[in-house]
A and B are shown apart, each in its own frame.
Chain A
């Protein structure tokens, strides 16, 4: 499912904007239009990515006020960088790269976590637990325990949490996660597998 379709139910604003003829335009085309002075193109871009980026930041920052400030700073960076924007990668990757760097700066400033851990390659020391996807009760419990996963998410290591959020909120692929966070593909893949494994184990324990 395309990302913009999957995100369209996030906000009413997106439904309003989806009626426009250029709703199918790619993020890159919208950014180029905004670069030429089309403010409406930025509204479309913002509507597509506001929710995912907001949650991506908030669920790592863990402070509502600071998270909103970081969220605004990232978008301001987008606005200021519109003149120099070139289509070298997907807009989504570029946007979350800006957010990733801003978060790294924030972590260094607040010493919340060791920012060096973002650059470290994860070592897989234990095998992933077996999947229980075939068990219907597990799925039902996961749906019911939506808030529980957020708690589990907060307990994840920061690199794994970031990889999971990039995958879920940003809709990035593993390769794009590697590009965004500046790590190798294998490292991104391992982070993501660890994140899923821990979340799944946590949900099973909760159940």
Chain B
């Protein structure tokens, strides 16, 4: 610090100034200032209290937000588990309506799962066994349906390899569907790898989840496509999140083969499906229809779930209910030839729509004939 050389030369000025009036602040001003200082110190604990409260306010708000969010998520998972998509599922998911049927009755399902079941089913479905099946007759219809249903159950119960946790999770989370009654169907297994997961848990698991790209690559045969996709033979298995072994040959006939599609529908129960649209188109994937699910879906919901993959682009599809009325009239008028054509076309476009009993009976005949022809 450089001091100016003022001390000695200016000493008279400084002395004169010090001799001047040394006015000071009044005592009242001193008291006021010191009181203000003491008040500020006294108010400091309150300030610290406020500061502490403010310090904890943000973490508390964050914790409350996290708790609220978690609560909302858990409530939503309990009420609408199908709407919660696993965060592990990075691919866009399509929500599709798909009721999950209850497990098949114990008497119709085998207790154990063995790899031989598929072989047994195959051998039963082999052409060599087909002649043993009696021609479709009205009195033998129920027996035939029962046999087919049993084979489907065997296939679905034994051949679909899915993690038990996924199945259990599916059963636990899936809402109880209405009673499932057997579809008058004679279709048998498809060489499909249904990439369908019916629950978020199933969707989040990698192996049973449907990745059409993978399926399309590895399966030489048409792959089934996710969505409201299920077959009458494998409906319950698919719906429960099980997956058919890829590339398994099948001698069966799909009622709704060559219907590559990504079904779009809305319903209370939905299925999260990973869909690769390109893979769908390239693989010409089949659509497996779930007869059981068809029993539970309203027409309005299914009407929107039509597919357009193998259909002619200019073909106009009637609404299902209108179509059924028209077919009922054909049935009433006895025009069986046209009725059969319409039924085949109808089933092609609306594979899971429930038919009236009369039409369903006719369709069962047609289906059985087609199976025998194959």
Indicate, yes or no, whether A interacts with B. Answer: yes
Q: Is the interface of B mostly helix, strand, loop or mixed?
A: helix
Q: Please determine whether A149 and B6 come into contact, CB atoms closer than 8 angstroms.
A: no
Q: A11-B24, A50-B24, A50-B25 are in contact. Are A133 and B34 (CB under 8 A)?
A: no
Q: Please determine whether A185 and B2 come into contact, CB atoms closer than 8 angstroms.
A: yes
> Any chain B CB within 8 A of the CB of A13?
yes
Q: Please determine whether B25 and A149 come into contact, CB atoms closer than 8 angstroms.
A: no
> Any chain A CB within 8 A of the CB of B115?
no
Cα–Cα distance between A42 and B42 once the two chains are bound (Å)? 13
Min C-beta distance of B75 to chain A, whole Å? 46
Q: Among A96-104, A106-114, A119-127, A196-204, which stretch is in contact with chain B?
A: A196-204
Q: Please determine whether B33 and A142 come into contact, CB atoms closer than 8 angstroms.
A: no
**Which chain B residues (1-27) contact chain A, with CB distance < 8 Å?**
1-4, 6, 8-26
- Of the candidates A79, A173, A185, A200, which one forms a contact with B40 in the assembled complex, judged by CB atoms under 8 Å apart? A79
Size band of the interface chain A makes with B: 35 or more
- Of the candidates B2, B8, B15, B29, which one forms a contact with A143 in the assembled complex, judged by CB atoms under 8 Å apart? B15
Q: Please determine whether B40 and A142 come into contact, CB atoms closer than 8 angstroms.
A: no
Q: Please determine whether B16 and A203 come into contact, CB atoms closer than 8 angstroms.
A: yes
Cα–Cα distance between A64 and B54 once the two chains are bound (Å)? 43
Min C-beta distance of A1 to chain B, whole Å? 11
Q: Please determine whether B41 and A168 come into contact, CB atoms closer than 8 angstroms.
A: no
Min C-beta distance of B62 to chain A, whole Å? 27
Q: Please determine whether A133 and B9 come into contact, CB atoms closer than 8 angstroms.
A: yes
- A contact residues around B11 at 8 Å (CB): 133, 139
Q: Is the interface of A mostly helix, strand, loop or mixed?
A: helix
- How many inter-chain residue pairs (CB < 8 Å) link A and B? 124
> Any chain A CB within 8 A of the CB of B36?
yes
With both beta carbons as reference points, the residue of chain B lying nearest to A144 in the complex is identified as: B19
* Most B-side CB within 10 Å, residue of A10, A39, A148: A39
> Any chain B CB within 8 A of the CB of A182?
no
- B contact residues around A71 at 8 Å (CB): 25, 29
Cα–Cα distance between A8 and B4 once the two chains are bound (Å)? 25
Q: A34-B41, A46-B33 are in contact. Are A143 and B16 (CB under 8 A)?
A: yes
Q: Please determine whether B16 and A145 come into contact, CB atoms closer than 8 angstroms.
A: yes
Q: Please determine whether A200 and B10 come into contact, CB atoms closer than 8 angstroms.
A: yes
Q: Please determine whether B4 and A147 come into contact, CB atoms closer than 8 angstroms.
A: no
- Of the candidates B16, B18, B26, which one forms a contact with A148 in the assembled complex, judged by CB atoms under 8 Å apart? B16
Min C-beta distance of A207 to chain B, whole Å? 10
Q: A34-B37, A39-B38, A200-B12 are in contact. Are A174 and B19 (CB under 8 A)?
A: no
> Any chain B CB within 8 A of the CB of A187?
no
Min C-beta distance of A118 to chain B, whole Å? 19
Cα–Cα distance between A193 and B8 once the two chains are bound (Å)? 13
Complex interface bits, A61-77 against B, C-beta within 8 A gives 1, otherwise 0: 00000001001100110
Q: A72-B33, A133-B12, A185-B2 are in contact. Are A54 and B24 (CB under 8 A)?
A: yes
Q: Please determine whether A150 and B21 come into contact, CB atoms closer than 8 angstroms.
A: yes
- A contact residues around B24 at 8 Å (CB): 10-11, 50-51, 54-55
- B contact residues around A146 at 8 Å (CB): 16-21
> Any chain A CB within 8 A of the CB of B44?
yes
3 closest A-B pairs (Cβ-Cβ)?
Answer: A142-B16, A146-B19, A131-B9
Can you list 16 A-B pairs, Cβ within 8 angstroms, ordered by A? A10-B24, A34-B41, A37-B41, A50-B24, A54-B25, A55-B23, A71-B25, A75-B36, A80-B40, A132-B12, A143-B15, A146-B17, A185-B2, A196-B9, A200-B13, A203-B12
